[in-house]
Chain A
């Protein structure tokens, strides 16, 4: 399940923020903020995607780097919220 989430989110990040450029892979624990994938507006695009794709609701208080700043963190968070793959 965790790998499926990571793969789905990775595809979204590359499609949406890298316009399909797959020349640079995203490592599981890489900070999405430090690598420039996510900025102050991008994080809400990610949240909207997670809600749509995994049928979860992300509370404002959950929008913290511990939940959203790497593929591994996102997968943990989505699983914890009982997310279902689309």
Chain B
């Protein structure tokens, strides 16, 4: 787990390039504080020049894992970020075929596999990774990213070179490259919560998509998806199989996915939120850690967000060495500028901030690898959004029914105000919508979120006139999407766009790696994902019971109240976290001040002032007011951090 940087293309001055390679690595040293290295080759007139840089977080092969790593002949050189969890098996397989290894690392396994199998070797990897591999024999560079998009990889073309890096801040070191906000990306964030890859918040800077391979050589630049999330056709239902058999297979898969992710030459801990998913992950990990598992949690002061009772119950049941860090509203405000420097993207929720704080606790305890429950809600349909879409379809099939809309109250029992609303009102506000719309499941969220665009300033509104982010999302859907069951369609949207674009990025890799902590996700093992995709939808969402098959497969490992717990979305206090900070001098007040708003020109200062006043007066702000507040604040902080003062 590390950070990588580099370029490919036009030759330069070797001394300048050496200095540049070091400068790029220095910008992402937080990702790999345990060592660094560079490789610069100016080419020979026929072969393009290449630069590779690496900041290392030592987890596997502590003594022999320095990068960039080359093969014995020096013809292949790689910089690698992440892990190949099945490298032990792959190494044994290659040794049986006569291959010899000089190190104990997964990086060398990657080089050997490429050498023997060519571009198709990616299919054999079980891991979370991004890498840049230079093949001097063929004069080409390969960039690749893991299936689910756990590890980031950004790139841009500038001055005759392709530049790439784990984080955009390394690209800021490239001479003459100016970082600007992409207004289309901002529209996408203020509608969909994240830019649609390959777009990023930065104009002209792209990201490799999850499961993408890109090859650059003298002929140019080619990309293809080497893996895609897929589901069976709706009419092509799998033959019925006893649920118990599915549960047993899932259990075996999750045990193996966890076993592979416990591999490291340093101790591995877990995040424990108190919910079903991280409790399962921790329970499996605890069984594989005879000397005692370290588990970590965030606690909140208010009952609405705090889950410490469940965290403590689970930690006690497993006998883990448990540590928790308290996250007050003031902590969120204090960390927020640093969080945005890490996410490199405006965000609509503060939820990454407590995780930024949590990774600092992990690091302070001398650990750098944690397993988490991330991905289970996407893969096994845990989010409210999935059940809400199912109820909306159910209501839509019998318009006028007085009974069916009452299910909305069952979905959100903590929303007391729903009890006052008539069935007709519930049906109207949750919205039936067009059942044939590919975005049916997500339309209410997009519509509600997009209200935040109200605050866009006149120049930005003019620039975006006629643009509709949901149209671009529709165009990005694969043709086969239309043949899937509605639940699988909703899962695809959530997994392909929000998981990769926000959860694993702003709320995952970025805030963990800010403190040199690597997250590993057993639920996102590609074998688990493929298994879940083939399940009948009712095995995942059974009535309104989410993650049905997962509870059945793993419930016996957990105390009954946790095994049967309803999904509590992970959230943190949003706008109200900043009320005190706004009243004091500091970066939050400065970012939302009238001069700062006027300087960026992105938002209408008069409206923002009223929003700030409203959220200060009403701490229980609505979803959309919170999203608007956090979106505006994070955008302003983003502009300040990345020195981009104009719209591209």
Which residues of A pack against B, CB within 8 Å?
15-16, 18-21, 33, 36, 38-44, 47, 60-66, 68-69
Contact = CB atoms under 8 A, between A and B. Distances in A.
Given A20-B606, A20-B607, A36-B448, A60 B429 contact: no
Contacts of B429: 33, 38-40, 43
A36 B450 CA distance: 9
A18 B448 contact: no
Given A19-B614, A44-B420, A60-B421, A65 B428 contact: yes
25 contacts: A16-B614, A19-B607, A19-B611, A20-B607, A21-B607, A36-B450, A39-B448, A39-B622, A40-B408, A40-B426, A41-B622, A41-B623, A43-B421, A43-B425, A43-B429, A60-B419, A63-B421, A63-B425, A64-B422, A65-B424, A65-B425, A65-B428, A66-B424, A68-B425, A69-B428
Contacts of A47: 420
Interface in B413-432: 415, 417-422, 424-426, 428-431
B87 to A, nearest CB: 49
A42 B431 contact: no
A24 B448 CA distance: 17
A39 B425 CA distance: 10
A60 B606 contact: no
Q: 3 closest pairs, A vs B, by CB?
A: A19-B610, A19-B607, A40-B429
Contacts of A15: 610
B428 A21 contact: no
Contacts of A18: 454
A21 B611 CA distance: 11
Interface string B338-349: 000000000000
Contacts of B451: 36
Interface residues of B, number: 30
B233 interface: no
Contacts of B428: 33, 65, 69
Contacts, number: 67
B604 interface: yes
Candidate in A40, A63, A65, A68 with the most chain B CB atoms within 10 angstroms: A40
Interface of B: 408, 415, 417-422, 424-426, 428-431, 447-448, 450-451, 454-455, 604, 606-607, 610-611, 614, 622-624
Contact of B422 (A20, A41, A61): A61
A44 B611 CA distance: 19
Contacts of A21: 454, 604, 607
A23 to B, nearest CB: 9
- Please classify the interface of chain B as helix (H, G, I), strand (E, B), loop, or mixed, using the class held by over half of its residues: helix
Nearest to A37: B451
A20 B607 CA distance: 7
B417 A44 contact: yes
A21 B420 CA distance: 30
A28 B622 CA distance: 25
A39 B420 contact: no
Candidate in A64, A68, A69 with the most chain B CB atoms within 10 angstroms: A64
Contacts of B426: 40
Contacts of B424: 64-66
A65 B428 CA distance: 7
Given A19-B454, A21-B454, A36-B447, A60 B610 contact: no
A23 B66 CA distance: 60
A63 B576 CA distance: 30
A60 B417 contact: no
A57 to B, nearest CB: 12
A69 B455 CA distance: 24
Contact of A40 (B418, B422, B607, B614): B418
A18 B614 CA distance: 11
Contacts of A39: 429, 448, 622-624
A33 B451 CA distance: 12
A68 B622 CA distance: 19
B606 A40 contact: no
Contacts of B425: 43, 63-65, 68
Contacts of B610: 15, 19-20
A78 B607 CA distance: 30
Contacts of B454: 18-19, 21
Contacts of A65: 424-425, 428
Nearest to A40: B429
B481 to A, nearest CB: 26
A60 B447 contact: no
Nearest to B430: A40
A42 B421 CA distance: 12
A42 B623 CA distance: 10
B422 A60 contact: yes
Nearest to B418: A40
Contacts of A64: 422, 424-425
B448 A33 contact: no
Given A63-B420, A64-B424, 4 more contacts: A18-B454, A21-B454, A33-B428, A60-B419
Nearest to B424: A64
Contacts of B614: 16, 19
A40 B415 contact: yes
B403 to A, nearest CB: 15
Nearest to B426: A40
A7 B333 CA distance: 39
Nearest to A60: B420
Given A18-B454, A21-B454, A69-B428, A41 B421 contact: no
A32 B359 CA distance: 44
Nearest to A65: B428
A66 B430 CA distance: 16
A33 B607 contact: no
A18 B607 CA distance: 8
B314 to A, nearest CB: 32
A64 B422 CA distance: 6
A16 B450 CA distance: 17
Nearest to B606: A20
A63 B418 contact: no
Contacts of B606: 20
A41 B626 CA distance: 13
Nearest to A41: B622
A33 B432 CA distance: 12
B421 A40 contact: yes
B633 to A, nearest CB: 15
A47 B421 CA distance: 11
Candidate in A19, A21, A47, A66 with the most chain B CB atoms within 10 angstroms: A19
Nearest to B451: A36
B308 to A, nearest CB: 27
